[in-house]
């Protein structure tokens, strides 16, 4: 007795008994706390871990939550709830639902619906309205802001919709009752817009109902059918144009009154659009979202997709086949087996579905059906649950919009499907391919679960539990195509989920969620011993499709409560997670739990940025905001500010989180080290800041992690405009000389390292050479350092170590030794290095060869190379040498034609600007430097330069112009004599050259000849330089042009010698022409060519020669 009075001993003894009992039973620990109506205490500060082989101890990381599976769930000591309040309800609630900023409560066994404002402190009462029967099920539609109920009266079941319910806050508003498709007219609406009760007739008893959050359509599940009602918006003026809807101008007299919209209010109605027949299938729960239809049986879930098409025959045929298959097995008892079918494979399930289109006004065409998902479970035991208790619940289709979408007008970016067993929940992504995202293993029997974009809320009999979801990870990849690249990253969709701290309650019955408000209904149960007896009875009743009344609390019970628990903002939860993660960072920065926790925080922030609206405002069919509930005009803005964190703050938190994730992956394993790069990029940190975060302490045994080295190398090896300071560049050299010495050359060539210390770097390079031997790239890098130190003799000595071709090959391997910039092919960003400038002065041939090699290996573009030579000030010398060298090396026809055009242009410029030796000192005179290739060199080595025609030697001046002028003339004539130049493309350029000079005349004559204008060329040549006519004719008038000798040349010479008989040049040309004509023609034809006034003695020798040749032939 004395020991029992000692509280210390008693506590120790009680703890020992508890541990002993738990180790024997090997079951999860269940904390139960009696909670009063005023306040619920916070959860304990630690999470309990229980293993079979270890005593009870605290652990903040992984815990097994189910004895059946191997799945592990992270549990973190972060509280997702900020506050809670109790809704002052007069009668015990039987059913609750929420939406549009309101909480709807149906009293147990009652026929009234009460609405409370969950967005205001204390949840003030809004309105109360009576239903026409006992409500068995109630749902709220965000689109259209209407309520739909399943009601019972006189043993009959009805389906009704309540629209404009907010006007009951007036207390005197009328209520109109009508059938589906029959809008109220006349006097019944003269008093303004009123609440309407729409009776929706059905041929079979409704058992489940769902509203589409995207369109507001209504899906009703009956015993073996699903009926889809399309939401329609009808205007009263269009029904009765002779009447005008009057505006209700009553002022708000109290805080609970509502504001009324315009009298031109559009009325809601429904149209039966399609019926899905499900033979021998009894749906327990249904869901509808943007064309996706989900139905849940006891142990089966089926998701379908409704689309519109003009050819519905295919689905009907497949449905008939499946129906026959079911009929064949109708007389057998088949034991269901576990099955999961995703995508098109789901059509192989044994549930046939047929379509009956009934819409008369729907202009979308006929509906077609496709299978999306099928999941079947086998009965099983779980922690005291019988086989009959193991059934599915909490079916939900959840849409997720992104910040660039307009909710009422566009389809959601993602659609998720969630359903749950008492021991496990399953989350699927439906759009863009069906995929199982997460499996939630619960520690105890879960009664109901609700999915949101941030969390999954589940309730047990005594606790509210929150799990993280992967919706944001899916949506982020839909929105941003750069996710999972080196630019951006996001935690994977397959990442393990985590559970947050538990909130304890007593006797939880139901849960629903609106925005950040979690509504819980609890009721104390004093009849626990009779629970096993009642459960099978309810099970048997459900098989007869009899909807049982909500469970009533015994008068001797402990009462009931309706709670509104407000969850914290994502930014607040993120900050708590960051504080929680600091424990891991201090003890083990590379812990997997730290990375997982930061990834969870990342997804919370992403979900906030992806959300379109700050709150789930109710909307009508066209997306207009519904009637507001408050009277204070400043209150909505205040609540919105309190409910949603500022976007800039969230983005700043996301950058901070990315920096933390980058730190984790920078020190992590080799497997995921590459993720440090995109996370550091998204953080906006500079390289210097990232280096400071990864710098190990002097006393720390840790070195730089592989992720940081990957990030650093990627930053240095890509073209960026960010330049490191000398201190940072020297630190980078020190880091990589120890960790990645093979990358020293590439590091030194990086444009970001332009400020590095050349003396210190040279020492490191010399040590590298002493260790690994001489290498060409290492030699070039050392020579560059010598240039930075202005040591030209040592630079020259190093560059002469290797042959120029070896240097060219190494420039191809590391082009940044010569060029910096060039991001995205923009030549405006490319610039020459210090080595390039020195090569232009001392080794121009090596520079030109290197640039040609870089172009041919796709390391530099032609425009970029031109920009480099302009930066060097060599556009009139080295740039032309580069074009000529490119013409020899390139095999691309487009490049060749471009180069030919450029070279012709530059040659013409040189000819027009340097006409003689006296003009060499004019401003436009190019440099006196000799070109790398002369005209003879190009003719001998490049096929595009042709040998000069023999007759050009007569026209070309001898030593009457400058050497540069003569060189340009020969190169241009050679191109015109070559096979590749298209003369037609350069004719406009040739107009700049005058024909007054003989060399100018020769170029124009070349163009005329290349274009086939021989008659004109012969006339022009006889006019300007008749001494070259025979050479021209001998070269040009051959083969198919041979006839021009006697058709054009001979008559021209005869006419000109007749006019100038003493012209010896013309007479000589005439004689040569007669010799050729006599050799080619017969005597008869030759005789015909002799002019009538010609002297016989002059032509007789040629006629005799022609006759002799003809006789010999």
Position 778 confidence tier, pLDDT thresholds 50, 70, 90: very high
Position 960 confidence tier, pLDDT thresholds 50, 70, 90: low
Task: Choose the most confident range, by mean pLDDT, from 72-86, 229-243, 608-622, 842-856.
Answer: 842-856
Residue 831: burial class (beta carbons within 10 Å; 0-12, 13-18, 19+):
middle
Strand partners, 1028: none
Q: Angle at Cα 215 formed by Cα 211 and Cα 218, nearest 5°? A: 30
Position 387 confidence tier, pLDDT thresholds 50, 70, 90: low
Residue 8: half-sphere exposure toward Cβ, Cα within 13 Å: 0
1032-1059 confidence digits (pLDDT tens): 889 988 888 888 888 888 888 888 888 7
Position 364 confidence tier, pLDDT thresholds 50, 70, 90: low
**Contact present, 918 and 983 (Cβ < 8 Å):** no
Question: Which comes out higher in pLDDT, residue 386 or 318?
Answer: 386
Q: Specify the residue for token string 């170590």.
A: 801
Position 199 confidence tier, pLDDT thresholds 50, 70, 90: very high
Residue 470 DSSP code: -
Residue 874 parent element (H or E): none
**pLDDT for residue 669:** 80
Residue 215 parent element (H or E): none
What the block records as the tokens of 468 is: 């993280």
Question: Which comes out higher in pLDDT, residue 692 or 1097?
Answer: 692
**pLDDT for residue 73:** 66
Question: Which comes out higher in pLDDT, residue 25 or 717?
Answer: 717
Residue 1087: half-sphere exposure toward Cβ, Cα within 13 Å: 5
In this model, does residue 555 exceed pLDDT 70? no
What the block records as the tokens of 347 is: 């059509």
In this model, does residue 35 exceed pLDDT 60? no
**701-710, 729-738, 942-951: least confidently modelled range:** 701-710
DSSP letters spanning 336-384: P--EEEEGGGGGGSS---EEEE--SS-TT-EEEEEEEEEEE-----BTT
| CA–CA distance, 638 with 1042 (Å, rounded to integer) | 99
What the block records as the tokens of 1064 is: 């010896």
Question: Which comes out higher in pLDDT, residue 1081 or 472?
Answer: 472
**58-62, 104-108, 660-664, 822-826: least confidently modelled range:** 58-62
CA-based torsion, 480, 482, 485, 489: positive or negative? negative
Pairing of strands 175-179, 292-296: unpaired
Position 634 confidence tier, pLDDT thresholds 50, 70, 90: low
Rg (CA), the chain: 46
Residue 288: burial class (beta carbons within 10 Å; 0-12, 13-18, 19+):
buried
**pLDDT for residue 1083:** 85
In this model, does residue 260 exceed pLDDT 70? no
| CA–CA distance, 393 with 130 (Å, rounded to integer) | 29
**pLDDT for residue 32:** 32
In this model, does residue 952 exceed pLDDT 80? yes
Percent of the chain with pLDDT over 90: 42
**pLDDT for residue 386:** 64
Residue 194 parent element (H or E): none
In this model, does residue 541 exceed pLDDT 80? no
**279-283, 449-453, 828-832: least confidently modelled range:** 828-832
Bin 524: left if φ > 0, else alpha if -120 < ψ < 50, else beta: beta
Task: Choose the most confident range, by mean pLDDT, from 28-42, 415-429, 658-672.
Answer: 415-429
In this model, does residue 298 exceed pLDDT 60? yes
Question: Which comes out higher in pLDDT, residue 953 or 621?
Answer: 953
Find, among 1103, 1025, 1026, 1020, the residue nearest to 1068 by Cα.
Answer: 1026
DSSP letters spanning 561-627: EEEEEEEPPHHHHHHHHHHHHHHHHHH-TT-HHHHHHHHHHHHHHHHHHH-SSSS---B-TTS-B--
Percent of the chain with pLDDT over 70: 75
| Average pLDDT estimate for 975-1002 | 88
Write the CA distances from 633 to 256, 258, 987, integer angstroms: 14, 12, 78
CA dihedral 199, 204, 207, 208 (to 10 degrees): -60
| Average pLDDT estimate for 960-982 | 87
Write the CA distances from 423 to 39, 339, 384, 443, 536, integer angstroms: 29, 18, 11, 7, 19
Question: Which comes out higher in pLDDT, residue 999 or 585?
Answer: 999
State the pTM of this model.
0.77
**pLDDT for residue 384:** 54
| CA–CA distance, 709 with 1112 (Å, rounded to integer) | 92
Find, among 477, 263, 276, 474, the residue nearest to 358 by Cα.
Answer: 276
Question: Which comes out higher in pLDDT, residue 630 or 303?
Answer: 303
**pLDDT for residue 14:** 42
200-210 confidence digits (pLDDT tens): 999 899 999 99
| Average pLDDT estimate for 955-983 | 85
**Contact present, 682 and 606 (Cβ < 8 Å):** no
| Average pLDDT estimate for 786-800 | 94
In this model, does residue 108 exceed pLDDT 80? yes
Residue 578: half-sphere exposure toward Cβ, Cα within 13 Å: 17
CA-based torsion, 718, 721, 724, 726: positive or negative? positive
| CA–CA distance, 1028 with 1022 (Å, rounded to integer) | 8
| CA–CA distance, 239 with 141 (Å, rounded to integer) | 25
**pLDDT for residue 60:** 38
Position 530 confidence tier, pLDDT thresholds 50, 70, 90: very low
**Contact present, 808 and 853 (Cβ < 8 Å):** yes
**pLDDT for residue 335:** 58
744-757 confidence digits (pLDDT tens): 999 999 999 999 99
CA dihedral 901, 903, 909, 914 (to 10 degrees): -150
- What are φ and ψ of residue 509, in 5° steps? -120, -40
**Contact present, 270 and 231 (Cβ < 8 Å):** yes
Q: What is the 3-state secondary structure (H, E, C) of 247-287?
A: CCCCCCCCCCCCCCCCCCCEEEEEEEEEEEECCCCCCCEEE
**pLDDT for residue 525:** 62
- Ranges of H-type helices in 873-982: 878-889, 893-913, 935-941, 952-955, 963-977
Position 905 confidence tier, pLDDT thresholds 50, 70, 90: very high
Find, among 148, 194, 192, the residue nearest to 167 by Cα.
Answer: 194
| CA–CA distance, 805 with 170 (Å, rounded to integer) | 93
**Contact present, 610 and 479 (Cβ < 8 Å):** yes
**Contact present, 777 and 816 (Cβ < 8 Å):** no
**pLDDT for residue 185:** 57
Question: Which comes out higher in pLDDT, residue 668 or 678?
Answer: 678
Pairing of strands 285-289, 292-296: antiparallel
């Amino acid at each position: 007795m004395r020991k029992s009075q000692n509280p210390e001993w008693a506590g120790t003894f009680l703890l020992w008994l508890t541990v002993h009992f738990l180790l024997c039973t090997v079951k999860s620990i269940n904390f139960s706390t009696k909670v009063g109506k005023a306040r619920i205490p916070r959860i304990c500060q630690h999470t309990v871990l229980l293993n079979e082989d270890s005593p009870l101890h605290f652990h903040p990381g992984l815990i097994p939550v189910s004895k059946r599976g191997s799945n592990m769930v992270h549990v973190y000591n972060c509280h997702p709830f900020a506050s809670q309040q109790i809704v002052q309800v007069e009668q015990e609630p039987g059913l609750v639902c929420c939406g549009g900023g309101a909480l709807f409560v149906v009293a147990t066994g009652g026929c009234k619906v009460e609405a409370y404002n969950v967005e205001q402190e204390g949840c003030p009462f809004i309105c109360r309205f009576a239903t026409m029967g006992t409500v068995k099920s109630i749902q709220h539609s965000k689109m259209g802001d209407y309520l739909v109920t399943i009601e019972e009266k006189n043993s009959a079941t009805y389906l009704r919709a309540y629209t404009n319910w907010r006007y009951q806050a007036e207390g005197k508003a009328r209520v109109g009752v009508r059938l589906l498709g029959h809008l109220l007219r006349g006097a019944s609406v003269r008093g303004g817009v009123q609440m309407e009760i729409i009776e929706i007739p059905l041929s079979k008893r409704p058992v489940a109902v769902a509203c589409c959050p995207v369109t507001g359509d209504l899906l009703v599940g009956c015993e073996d059918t699903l009926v889809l009602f399309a939401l329609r918006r009808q205007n009263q003026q269009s029904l009765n144009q002779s009447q005008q809807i009057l505006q209700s101008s009553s002022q708000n007299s109290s805080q609970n009154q509502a504001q009324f919209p315009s009298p031109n209010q559009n009325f809601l109605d429904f149209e039966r659009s399609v019926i899905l027949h499900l033979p021998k299938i009894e749906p327990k729960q249904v869901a509808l979202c943007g064309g996706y239809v989900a139905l849940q049986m006891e142990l089966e879930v089926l998701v379908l997709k409704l689309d519109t098409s003009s050819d519905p025959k295919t689905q009907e045929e497949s449905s008939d086949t499946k129906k026959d298959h079911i009929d064949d097995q109708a007389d057998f008892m088949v034991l269901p087996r576990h099955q999961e079918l995703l995508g098109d494979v789901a059509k192989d399930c044994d549930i046939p579905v047929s379509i009956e289109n009934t819409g008369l006004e729907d202009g979308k065409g006929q509906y077609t059906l496709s299978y999306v998902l099928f999941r079947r479970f086998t009965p099983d035991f779980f922690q005291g649950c019988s086989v009959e208790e193991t059934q599915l619940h909490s079916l939900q289709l959840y849409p997720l919009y992104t910040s660039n979408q307009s909710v009422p007008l566009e389809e959601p970016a993602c659609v998720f499907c969630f359903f749950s067993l008492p021991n496990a929940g399953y989350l699927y992504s439906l759009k863009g391919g069906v995929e199982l995202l997460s499996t939630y293993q619960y520690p105890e029997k879960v009664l109901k679960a609700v999915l949101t974009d941030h969390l999954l809320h589940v309730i047990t009999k005594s606790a509210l539990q929150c799990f993280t979801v992967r919706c944001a990870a899916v949506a982020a990849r839909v929105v941003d195509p750069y996710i999972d690249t080196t630019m951006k990253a996001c935690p994977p969709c397959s990442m393990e989920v985590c559970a947050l701290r538990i909130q304890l309650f007593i006797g939880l019955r139901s849960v629903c969620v609106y925005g950040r408000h979690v509504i819980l209904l609890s009721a104390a149960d004093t009849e626990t011993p009779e629970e096993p007896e009642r459960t099978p009875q309810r099970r048997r009743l459900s098989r007869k499709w009899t909807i049982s009344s909500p469970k009533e609390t015994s008068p001797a019970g402990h009462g009931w409560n309706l709670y509104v628990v407000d969850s914290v903002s994502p930014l607040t939860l993120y900050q708590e997670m960051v504080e929680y993660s600091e424990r891991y960072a201090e003890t083990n920065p590379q812990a997997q739990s730290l990375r997982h926790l930061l990834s969870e925080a990342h997804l919370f922030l992403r979900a906030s940025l992806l959300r379109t609206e700050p709150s789930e405002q109710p909307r009508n069919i066209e997306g207009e905001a519904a009637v507001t509930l408050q009277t204070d005009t400043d209150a909505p803005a205040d609540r919105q500010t309190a409910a949603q964190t500022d976007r800039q703050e969230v983005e700043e938190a996301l950058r901070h989180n990315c920096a933390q994730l980058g730190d984790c992956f920078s020190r992590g394993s080799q497997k995921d080290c590459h993720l440090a790069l995109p996370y550091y990029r998204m953080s906006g940190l500079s390289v210097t800041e990232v280096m400071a975060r990864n710098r190990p302490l002097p006393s720390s045994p840790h070195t730089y992690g592989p992720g940081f080295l990957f990030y650093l190398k990627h930053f240095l090896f890509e073209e960026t405009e960010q330049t490191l300071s000398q201190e940072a560049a020297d630190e980078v050299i020190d880091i990589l000389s120890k960790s990645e010495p093979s990358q020293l050359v590439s590091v030194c060539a990086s444009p970001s390292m332009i400020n590095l210390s050349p003396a210190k770097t040279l020492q490191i390079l010399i040590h590298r050479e002493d260790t690994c031997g001489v290498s060409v790239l290492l030699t070039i890098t050392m020579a560059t350092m010598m240039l930075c130190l202005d040591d030209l003799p040592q630079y020259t000595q190093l560059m002469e170590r290797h042959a120029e071709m070896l240097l060219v090959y190494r420039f191809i391997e590391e082009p940044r030794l010569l060029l910096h910039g060039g991001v995205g092919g923009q030549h405006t960003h490319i610039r020459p290095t210090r080595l390039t400038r020195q090569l232009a002065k001392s080794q121009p041939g090596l520079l030109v060869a290197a640039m040609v090699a870089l172009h041919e290996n796709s390391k530099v573009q032609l425009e970029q190379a031109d920009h480099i030579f302009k930066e060097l000030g060599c556009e009139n010398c080295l740039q032309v040498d580069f074009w000529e060298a490119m013409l020899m090396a390139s095999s691309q026809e487009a490049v060749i034609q471009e180069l030919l055009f450029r070279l012709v242009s530059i040659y013409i410029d040189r000819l027009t600007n340097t006409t003689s030796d006296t003009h060499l000192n004019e401003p436009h005179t190019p440099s006196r430097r000799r070109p790398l290739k002369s005209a003879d060199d190009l003719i001998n080595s490049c096929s595009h330069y042709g040998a000069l025609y023999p007759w050009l030697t007569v026209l070309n001046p001898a030593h009457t112009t400058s050497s540069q002028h003569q060189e340009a003339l020969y190169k241009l004539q050679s191109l015109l004599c070559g096979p590749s130049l298209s003369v037609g493309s350069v004719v406009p350029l040739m107009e700049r050259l005058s024909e007054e000079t003989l060399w100018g005349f020769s170029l124009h004559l070349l163009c005329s000849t290349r274009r086939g204008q021989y008659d004109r060329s012969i006339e022009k040549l006889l006019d300007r330089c008749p001494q070259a006519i025979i050479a021209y004719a001998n070269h040009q008038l051959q083969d198919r042009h041979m006839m021009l000798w006697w058709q054009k040349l001979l008559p021209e010479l005869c006419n000109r010698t007749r006019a100038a008989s003493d012209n010896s040049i013309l007479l000589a040309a005439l004689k040569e022409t007669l010799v050729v004509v006599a050799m080619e023609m017969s005597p008869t034809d030759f005789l015909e060519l002799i002019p009538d006034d010609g002297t016989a003695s002059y032509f007789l020798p040629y006629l005799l020669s022609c006759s002799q040749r003809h006789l010999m032939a």
